[in-house]
Structure 1
Amino acid sequence: MTADASDFSPLAASARSRLHTPRVTSFVSNSMSEDAGTPGRVIMAMAMFMFVYGAIALRLIDLGMADETPSSAYIGAQQAITASRPDLVDRNGELLATDIKAPSLYAEPRKIVDVDEVIDKLSSVMPELGTETIRNRLMGNAGFVWLKREITPRQREEIHRLGLPGIGFLTENRRFFPGGPTASHILGLVNVDEQGIAGMEKYLDGQGIADLQKFGFATSQSMKPIALSIDVRAQHVVRDELLKAIDRYQAIAAIGIVLDVHTGEVVAMSSVPDFDPNDPAEALKPENLNRATAGVYEMGSVFKSFSLAMALESGKVSMDDTVDATKPIRMGGFTINDFHGLHRPLTLPEVFVHSSNIGTARMTMELGIPWQQEFFRRLGLLERTRTELPEVAAPLLPSKWGDLSAMTISYGHGISVTPMQTAVAGAALVNGGYMIDPTFLPRTREEAQKTAVRVMSKRVSDQMRYLLRLNAVKGSGRNARVPGYMVGGKTGTSEKIVNGRYVHDKRRNSFLSAFPMDDPRYVVLVTIDEPKPEEGKHYATAGYNTAPVVSKIIARIAPMLGVVPHVTEDSDKMLVSY
């Protein structure tokens, strides 16, 4: 191809220039636009990278500084772990309750990879952990959950060997009772958080232990042992004899109380069946109720002791008076009779020794209902007993205290009180006439006298000591005698009420006693629920079962309590005077 001359002319050059300029201009314009936007995109990209890497760095720093402990719940658990309870000891320093270390099992659900595997392996060691409740806990997003409090060291070892991620152990304080059930109703128990829920353990929480735990001041170093009034040796004897009595007389329950008559200290108190506070679930069984302070019962003829003291204190009756007991008393369709009536006038000592319902009822009516109510109120029989133990029942009184009620109450029917109330009132009969509230804490005689209230004269108290001793020598309490000790007491046999009616073949027997009667130091009360006659015997009255049990208890505890026997004493020796 050949070029024409016109191709090189100025006009042609101008035309070519116009044709090519837009293309060049467009190229330069786009290039400049792209160069201008590049810094903004770069800055934005750099900012995004810096944000992402910054977040990662912060998370790494957070993880690096984080403790390996499980969340805030763990901190709360640790605070609970440091809380302690003081040791409980008896009056001689023998250990009754203390804290020991026990492992507890927890989980951190966020760290668990396979819930099914964890459930399967845990339940192979502890089947109770294979429940749907545990599964739901593990599938949550919590940082810390309890699985089982207070497991055994062997369980801890077996679970530890499984090597499960997210499963761990914490060491907590656990309450331990070395004597098991020996003093269970007195000591009470605590829950898994070391909080008292019954007995003296609950009482102590109300005295400030719970507050010390709350604020972190309750540690094993700061807690001094707390002494109780009981003597664990006497406590063991009472419980042992009650268990033997249940077996011997095929009874359903038994109660025993030993009380210092001058201080009001409870030296021993047992109610069987009982429970082991190391296994708290046993305390929930109805048959394991603390019958000594939380149960109320008709105490039967034991109340004649209070009625005769009432009569003597009134000044209208003397030891030389006689009461007409020749025939039954009939009132409002009811008949009051004697179990073994002599059908003749009785002296006051005969009313007591022969346990005459008729004689006691007639004396009460002569004195009047207001005086009966006033005197029984003095003895603490009409209101709830004041003591440290939380489980204390109020007495059941008649809705209408008329003539018939007054007569039946005089011999222990129509009014229900706790055995502890009975023992406390019994102490006032023999300690010179002072009403002293019972205590489960040590108390001196001088301290007791500061709050003691005189409820009868010393003269009447001396007369009651004579009558109680007389009944142990010539009356229904003969089987309570102990060689070397002057024992006195009064029996009580009451028929139980079933469906609103008294049942003749179901009885609750009691024996209220004191020793030594020449200088009384202790009251001993024993009650047996539904005893059966021994083989070869026709009766299951108190004189045949509760009195012998009291004899066995006194024979064993008297040397422990420092009561010196009179080696040459005749078992039938009476008090010289009253």
Structure 2
Amino acid sequence: MIALVIRLKSRAHFAVQSKNGAFIGSGRRRKDARQRIGILIAIFAVAFLAVGGRLIQYGLDEVTATASLQGDLSAMASRPDILDRNGLMLATDLDMVSLYAEPRRIIDPDEAIEKLATVIPNLDWSETNRRLRSGTAFQWLRRHLTPRQQADIMALGIPGLGFRPEKRRFYPGGAIASHIVGHVNIDNMGLAGMERYLDQQGLIALREAGLTGGMALEPVRLSIDLRVQAIVRDVVAKAMTDYQAEAAGAVVLDVETGEVLAMASVPDYDPNVPSRQLADGSVDKEYEKGWFNRMSNATFEMGSTFKAFTLAMGLDAGSINLNSVIDATRPIRMGGFTIKDFRGKRRPLSIPEVFQYSSNIGTATIADMVGIEGHQAFLTKLGLLTRMDTEMPGIATPTQPRTWRKINSATISYGHGAATTPLQTAVAAAALLNGGSLISPTFMPRSREQAAGGAVQVLAEKTSADMRYLFTWNGLNGSGRSAQVPGFRVGGKTGTADKVINGRYATNINFNAFLAGFPMDKPRYVVLSIVDAPLTGERGGRLAAYTAGPVVREIIRRSGAMLGVQSRFGTEDDPQLLIDY
């Protein structure tokens, strides 16, 4: 073997020497080498020219409809399941298939459309015909088909059609928690609610990196109790119908952790079908109005519920105490306006009576005692004048006068002139009842220890104790009686505001609210309800006591035990009956 290598090597260097000493073979070899190098250069040059020409051709070609492929880039991308606090399913992914066409391979578009129409309902013939005749390499024809439809289309034997696996989001509860959970688009990307929040927390980046395809993601657990959520949604939907209202809503909030246990706003929508078409093919705009979440994405003048904050301000500032008396004998003239009481007593009122009889004169007087700057600072400290910080996207920003004058402070003291969201009204009320700690709301589980770490003390504990007394007093003696549930010791405050329409207050259209806490011996939950523009109510009344109050009553009656609150009858010193569920 070694000998053979030596012979080959010697032949490679063999040359015949002429008489004058020149090597005859060496010149020929150099010529052959130059020829081979030239051939290689020519081959590479032709290849580069071909590639360059092809790139130029692609650059000059018209854009084809390959944008339809964008959805396929993440067709198999997963989203995490969304669960309620008890592990019940709120949202999950389903494996689906979608139908596509390769128009360049379609032999007879008309025949293909006729056959597909026998399987696919409501097939748009003109649009499908346009796509099949486009001459492009790829076109979606129908997304998210059922297994039966896939089998039927395959049996048709149409060349140029194919299927691609995709994920479809499914919401088992339908509309029950639609405004909280939100929904996704056809490419499984979050558009609203907690679905959008998840994308904002990095899920989109994971999808784009291809790290969510075909893999099981850790479920996301919310603070929502689906049982309570179903009750709240049912109660507010019934109230909107029974009271012939424009809208209604409610929220249940844990005063010690800031967790939202339930929140509903109606009209709402089914996130499985976030939009729908009318018979003429246009989008149903009325249906899409259900996307609007009035509890956190809209602001309202909250009416007399704000009197709770005004009294808390006066108590915390030391301007008044529970034994103080406010002269409500006559209306107040201020800045060209007259402030008077609705069904006023026309006599001096104690602080509990100011709350009980919902005296505008009394709260305006207290606001004047504290002063304009102190009033604005107090409401700001409670988070009522600034945008709320929580996971829910689309939170509305409260509105207030650009410049606070004395008349502005007076009207805001009883809930007119400043608008805030119902959710942050409930959050501020929780601080009145839980010992004075302002805790930001959350839609994710949070322990008491975690909540305490981020809480801000905004009231003295004594002020909070005084407010618990006032809420209890009004629940037993005032307008709060309309929300009273035997055994659950409900305290609360009504709020009836004239609705602002086209910049003017409408005297015959109300925005009603009821702010409640329970059980008042040691409050655990705040429940706030709203009824927008009701035409009637219990016993024919249109005020909050006849509309928003009964909503709170029904929510607590049906969900109080689920929330772990024991029914008690009698007093703490002399309990007559204790029901432990």
Please give the TM-score of this superposition, normalised by the length of structure 1: 0.83
Q: 1:162 to 1:385 in 2, by over 3 A?
A: same
C-alpha separation between the residues in 1 aligned to 2:254 and 2:500? Answer: 32
What secondary structure, in the 3-state scheme, does the structure 2 residue paired with 1:490 have? strand
C-alpha contact 2:68 2:140 (8 A) present in aligned 1: no
What secondary structure, in the 3-state scheme, does the structure 1 residue paired with 2:265 have? strand
What secondary structure, in the 3-state scheme, does the structure 1 residue paired with 2:497 have? strand
C-alpha contact 1:85 1:219 (8 A) present in aligned 2: no
Specify which of 444, 448, 452 is matched with residue 455 of structure 2: 452
Query: Aligned pair 1:316/2:319, yes or no?
Result: yes
**Aligned residue type for 1:509:** N
Quote how far apart the aligned CAs of 1:160 are: 2.9
In structure 2, what is the equivalent of residue 563 of structure 1?
Answer: 565
**Bigger shift: residues 250-259 or 120-129:** 120-129
In structure 2, what is the equivalent of residue 529 of structure 1?
Answer: 532
Q: 1:481 to 1:150 in 2, by over 3 A?
A: same
In structure 1, what is the equivalent of residue 354 of structure 2?
Answer: 351
What secondary structure, in the 3-state scheme, does the structure 2 residue paired with 1:92 have? coil
What secondary structure, in the 3-state scheme, does the structure 2 residue paired with 1:159 have? helix
**Bigger shift: residues 274-283 or 109-118:** 274-283
What secondary structure, in the 3-state scheme, does the structure 1 residue paired with 2:568 have? coil
Specify which of 373, 382, 387 is matched with residue 384 of structure 1: 387
**Bigger shift: residues 390-399 or 231-240:** 390-399
The percentage of counterpart residues that share the same residue type is: 51
Quote how far apart the aligned CAs of 1:313 are: 0.6
**Aligned residue type for 1:273:** P
C-alpha separation between the residues in 2 aligned to 1:381 and 1:75? Answer: 46
In structure 1, what is the equivalent of residue 485 of structure 2?
Answer: 482
Quote how far apart the aligned CAs of 1:92 are: 0.4
Q: 1:75 to 1:135 in 2, by over 3 A?
A: closer
In structure 1, what is the equivalent of residue 289 of structure 2?
Answer: 286
Unaligned stretches of 5+ in structure 1? 1-70, 574-578
What secondary structure, in the 3-state scheme, does the structure 1 residue paired with 2:75 have? helix
C-alpha contact 1:86 1:220 (8 A) present in aligned 2: no
What secondary structure, in the 3-state scheme, does the structure 1 residue paired with 2:375 have? helix
Q: 1:108 to 1:178 in 2, by over 3 A?
A: same
In structure 2, what is the equivalent of residue 16 of structure 1?
Answer: none
Quote how far apart the aligned CAs of 1:212 are: 1.4
Query: Aligned pair 1:266/2:260, yes or no?
Result: yes
C-alpha RMSD of matched pairs (Å): 2.1
In structure 2, what is the equivalent of residue 134 of structure 1?
Answer: 128
Specify which of 70, 80, 84 is matched with residue 78 of structure 2: 84
Query: Aligned pair 1:107/2:101, yes or no?
Result: yes
C-alpha separation between the residues in 2 aligned to 1:214 and 1:505? Answer: 54
C-alpha separation between the residues in 2 aligned to 1:431 and 1:546? Answer: 23
In structure 1, what is the equivalent of residue 363 of structure 2?
Answer: 360
Query: Aligned pair 1:250/2:244, yes or no?
Result: yes
C-alpha separation between the residues in 1 aligned to 2:410 and 2:124? Answer: 63
Query: Aligned pair 1:214/2:208, yes or no?
Result: yes
Quote how far apart the aligned CAs of 1:334 are: 1.9
Specify which of 163, 168, 171 is matched with residue 169 of structure 1: 163
What secondary structure, in the 3-state scheme, does the structure 1 residue paired with 2:479 have? coil
In structure 1, what is the equivalent of residue 110 of structure 2?
Answer: 116
Query: Aligned pair 1:198/2:192, yes or no?
Result: yes
In structure 2, what is the equivalent of residue 470 of structure 1?
Answer: 473
In structure 2, what is the equivalent of residue 429 of structure 1?
Answer: 432
What secondary structure, in the 3-state scheme, does the structure 1 residue paired with 2:425 have? helix
Give the structure with the larger helix fraction.
1
What secondary structure, in the 3-state scheme, does the structure 2 residue paired with 1:86 have? coil
Q: 1:327 to 1:264 in 2, by over 3 A?
A: same
In structure 2, what is the equivalent of residue 307 of structure 1?
Answer: 310
In structure 2, what is the equivalent of residue 228 of structure 1?
Answer: 222
Query: Aligned pair 1:160/2:154, yes or no?
Result: yes
C-alpha separation between the residues in 2 aligned to 1:515 and 1:429? Answer: 13
**Aligned residue type for 2:95:** K
C-alpha contact 1:241 1:553 (8 A) present in aligned 2: yes
C-alpha separation between the residues in 2 aligned to 1:415 and 1:135? Answer: 56
C-alpha separation between the residues in 1 aligned to 2:359 and 2:124? Answer: 66
In structure 1, what is the equivalent of residue 48 of structure 2?
Answer: none
| 1:66-112 deviation per Cα after TM superposition (whole angstroms, max 9, x unaligned) | xxxxx999997665233100000000000100000122110011110
**Aligned residue type for 1:229:** S
C-alpha separation between the residues in 2 aligned to 1:504 and 1:93? Answer: 47
C-alpha separation between the residues in 2 aligned to 1:180 and 1:287? Answer: 13
Quote how far apart the aligned CAs of 1:480 are: 1.0
Q: 1:78 to 1:396 in 2, by over 3 A?
A: closer
C-alpha contact 1:129 1:147 (8 A) present in aligned 2: no
In structure 2, what is the equivalent of residue 151 of structure 1?
Answer: 145
C-alpha separation between the residues in 2 aligned to 1:540 and 1:141? Answer: 63
Query: Aligned pair 1:547/2:522, yes or no?
Result: no
C-alpha contact 2:363 2:414 (8 A) present in aligned 1: yes
| 1:167-224 deviation per Cα after TM superposition (whole angstroms, max 9, x unaligned) | 2222211000000000000000111111111110010111121111111211453301
Quote how far apart the aligned CAs of 1:158 are: 3.7
Q: 1:87 to 1:511 in 2, by over 3 A?
A: same
C-alpha separation between the residues in 2 aligned to 1:398 and 1:75? Answer: 50
Q: 1:77 to 1:237 in 2, by over 3 A?
A: closer
**Aligned residue type for 2:439:** I
**Bigger shift: residues 525-534 or 506-515:** 525-534
C-alpha separation between the residues in 1 aligned to 2:407 and 2:374? Answer: 15
**Bigger shift: residues 524-533 or 298-307:** 524-533
User: Greater CA radius of gyration, 1 or 2?
Assistant: 1
Quote how far apart the aligned CAs of 1:145 are: 1.5
**Aligned residue type for 1:204:** L
C-alpha separation between the residues in 2 aligned to 1:161 and 1:236? Answer: 43
C-alpha separation between the residues in 2 aligned to 1:545 and 1:72? Answer: 55
In structure 1, what is the equivalent of residue 335 of structure 2?
Answer: 332
Q: 1:504 to 1:73 in 2, by over 3 A?
A: closer
C-alpha contact 2:71 2:187 (8 A) present in aligned 1: no
In structure 2, what is the equivalent of residue 20 of structure 1?
Answer: none
C-alpha separation between the residues in 1 aligned to 2:118 and 2:74? Answer: 29
| 1:279-332 deviation per Cα after TM superposition (whole angstroms, max 9, x unaligned) | 021697225410010011111000000000000011121111111111111223
What secondary structure, in the 3-state scheme, does the structure 2 residue paired with 1:259 have? strand
C-alpha separation between the residues in 2 aligned to 1:389 and 1:236? Answer: 19
How many equivalent pairs are there? Answer: 501
C-alpha contact 1:259 1:268 (8 A) present in aligned 2: yes
**Bigger shift: residues 232-241 or 279-288:** 279-288
**Aligned residue type for 2:209:** F
C-alpha contact 2:510 2:534 (8 A) present in aligned 1: yes
Quote how far apart the aligned CAs of 1:141 are: 2.9
